[in-house]
Structure 1
Amino acid sequence: MTEQKKRRPYSSTLRQEQAQATRQKIATAARELMISKGYADTTMAEVAREAGVAVQTLYTSSPGGKPALAKLVYDITLAGDAQPLPQSDRPEVQAIIDEPDPARKLALYAAMATAILRRVKPVHRVLRAAAAASPTDAGLQDLLADIERERLTGSRGPAEHLHGLGALRPDLPPARAAEQIYVLTSTENFEKLTEVCGWSEAEYEEWLASILAAALLGPLHPEQAGEQ
């Protein structure tokens, strides 16, 4: 019995690692197919074949059919891996929390946001195009709505963090600050500036950091004081 108890944590960890690896394979295969063929022309059977898993495994990993599979692709692309680790617990976010200077916090946030946007841009574009072509596809429309709701919810974290430090402008409620962060970090803005306007990603990151600081921070912070 003692020997069995010793083995259980190892077995549990191994199962978790295997599940993560399977989710990663599925997401990678689905992402490549959806980007190359489009959302509508990508079938669950094709994804299963490319990932080297049974179709039933695909439905187990993403219950809800193809919209759920697309959400799995988006979530893993956003995070950068299949680890079941909340975004708030990741090292990049911890570095932002640990940074004492509010302007520098926003510079680190802009760097993180730029890296995320680089990853999710092709996936988000495919899903937007599919939704525009199939306005009656409720699952796809709900997926995009869920993504936007989650983005807005995620924007409340940095807004509340700055508010807790007393770093927000005195006239700016945290909810309104979150809405500004949500809009400024949209995939569409990233696409327009880097593709239509021809900005480099470094230029976008610098712009995002500066406009977030100008929009959110109180006038006593060095970033804004130096501009006066």
Structure 2
Amino acid sequence: MTEQKKRRAYSSALRQEHAQATRRKIATAARKLMIGKGYADTTMAEVAREAGVAVQTLYTSCPGGKPALAKLVYDITLAGDARPLPQSARPEVQAIIDEPDPVRKLARYAAMATAVLRRVQPVHRVLRAAAAASPTDTGLQDVLAGIERERLMGSRGPAEHLHALGALRQGLPAARAAERIYVLTSTENFEKLTEVCAWSEAEYEEWLAAMLAAALLEHPHG
């Protein structure tokens, strides 16, 4: 690699790192304000001020306005960081893939899902409440609908993985298995069991692992 190419690569990496740091600051500020004040009462100017960035920088990072900002908050909260790395490429997912036993595989999946739900539940609740209060806010409605589509699509990965291993229940197509995963790992189920029923997260995780195994596996007890 020539010196010029090295400088360009270094400069590109620095810009990417700076952009990720900016997105993380914006998402952190917006998450704090939206959870504290609600989605409707949080303004873009307040988020920019809390994040320590110019309003124009905020709109550059979220060109779709406030709904795009809400999606940024959700996505970064879901991933746990601002890296442009899909869930399928993350170490915890690779550990699930590498686990040979389907029952233990789903136990690992339940642990990962519980950690994700712990992070996203407060954000998802705020967005649901705002969407219910403003049914004509098509931008926010589209964000929530998109989140659900992404959740269903994301459920296809583990379903197809189990199908390829021959671990799914007899007669259960991978598409239907994905739908069962999608429903069982919903934010609403997590809320009801940990808040209304006062379950601990450990109890929820154990329940989720057992329900996934019972709903999906030909041999749910190993």
| Structure 1 and Structure 2 fold alike (TM over 0.5) | yes
Percent identity of paired positions between Structure 1 and Structure 2:
86
The residue type paired with residue 175 of structure 1 is A
> 2:62 and 2:173 mapped to 1: Cα distance?
37
Q: CA deviation at 1:3?
A: 2.8
Structure 1 stretch displaced more, 145-154 or 6-15:
6-15
Structure 1 stretch displaced more, 67-76 or 7-16:
7-16
**1:42-57 alignment runs, 5 A limit:** 42-57=42-57
> 1:28 and 1:47 mapped to 2: Cα distance?
9
**2:218 is the alignment partner of 1:224:** no
The residue type paired with residue 224 of structure 1 is H
> 1:217 and 1:2 mapped to 2: Cα distance?
54
**2:29 is the alignment partner of 1:29:** yes
Structure 1: 5+ residue runs without aligned partners? none
> 2:33 and 2:22 mapped to 1: Cα distance?
17
* 1:103-162 alpha-carbon deviations (Å, 9 max, x no partner): 111000000000000000000000000001001111111111000000000000000000
Q: CA deviation at 1:36?
A: 0.2
**2:104 is the alignment partner of 1:107:** no
- Give the 4+ runs in structure 1 shifted more than 6 A: none
Alignment match, 1:126: 126
The residue type paired with residue 107 of structure 1 is A
The residue type paired with residue 171 of structure 1 is G
Q: CA deviation at 1:62?
A: 1.1
**2:4 is the alignment partner of 1:7:** no
> 1:173 and 1:6 mapped to 2: Cα distance?
49
Q: CA deviation at 1:61?
A: 0.8
Q: CA deviation at 1:7?
A: 1.1
SS class of match (2:114): helix
The residue type paired with residue 190 of structure 1 is F
Q: CA deviation at 1:210?
A: 0.6
Structure 2: 5+ residue runs without aligned partners? none
> 2:156 and 2:2 mapped to 1: Cα distance?
47
> 1:6 and 1:161 mapped to 2: Cα distance?
40
Q: CA deviation at 1:8?
A: 1.3
> 1:165 and 1:93 mapped to 2: Cα distance?
16
Alignment match, 1:64: 64
TM-score, normalized by length of structure 2? 0.98
> 1:86 and 1:2 mapped to 2: Cα distance?
31
